[in-house]
């Protein structure tokens, strides 16, 4: 089931890039990011309340709070830089560089999370890296 969710994530991430490129025309990229963030905030909390999971907020550990806040900061910075890059550059060049985050995430998973390094992940990471550089050169 996780594969279906991952594919849906990829589809909507692709749609995000194209919709954003069209939407930021003539708008400050930071303002566009703020508008997008408000929409995401409303959607996320809406889902929490629709599913009735808001009561779980009191059981979140301090460690989880810290890392979720740090993740939120990283997401915000990523979106701000992404929108600025998308506004200035071609989507077909900005998006592959942004998706290079896959390789960076893999390396961080190996180093920080101590996930197993396999031949498949190394080969996949190499292909993604090559593909990224081929598309942007």
Per-residue pLDDT tens for 23-35? 999 999 999 999 9
> pLDDT digits over 65-85, tens only?
999 999 999 999 999 999 999
Please choose, from the candidates 118, 38, 122, the residue with its C-alpha nearest in 3D space to the C-alpha of residue 79.
38
Predicted local confidence at residue 127, as pLDDT: 96
* Percentage of the residues of the chain whose pLDDT score is greater than 90: 84
Rounded (5°) CA angle 96-101-106: 130
Please choose, from the candidates 133, 49, 33, the residue with its C-alpha nearest in 3D space to the C-alpha of residue 93.
133
Q: Give CB contacts under 8 A, 24+ apart, made by 31-38.
A: 32/83, 32/87, 33/76, 33/79, 33/80, 33/83, 36/79, 36/83, 37/76, 37/79
Predicted local confidence at residue 135, as pLDDT: 85
Q: What is the pTM of this model?
A: 0.83
Q: Say how far apart CA 54 and CA 46 lie, in whole Å.
A: 10
Q: Say how far apart CA 60 and CA 132 lie, in whole Å.
A: 38
> pLDDT digits over 94-124, tens only?
999 999 999 999 999 999 999 999 999 999 9
Task: Say if CB 137 and CB 111 are below 8 A apart.
Answer: no
Predicted local confidence at residue 60, as pLDDT: 97
φ, ψ at 5 (rounded to 5°):
-65, -40
Predicted local confidence at residue 136, as pLDDT: 83
């Amino acid at each position: 089931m996780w594969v279906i969710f991952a594919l849906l994530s990829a589809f909507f991430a692709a749609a995000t890039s194209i919709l954003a490129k069209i939407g930021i025309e003539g708008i400050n990229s930071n303002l566009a990011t703020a508008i997008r963030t408000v929409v995401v905030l409303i959607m996320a909390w809406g889902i929490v309340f629709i599913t009735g999971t808001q009561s779980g907020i009191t059981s979140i550990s301090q460690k989880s709070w810290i890392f979720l806040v740090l993740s939120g900061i990283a997401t915000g910075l990523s979106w701000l830089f992404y929108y600025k890059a998308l506004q200035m550059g071609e989507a077909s060049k900005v998006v592959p560089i942004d998706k290079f985050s896959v390789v960076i995430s893999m390396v961080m998973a190996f180093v920080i999370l101590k996930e197993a390094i396999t031949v498949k992940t190394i080969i996949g990471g190499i292909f993604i890296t090559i593909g990224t550089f081929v598309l942007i050169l």
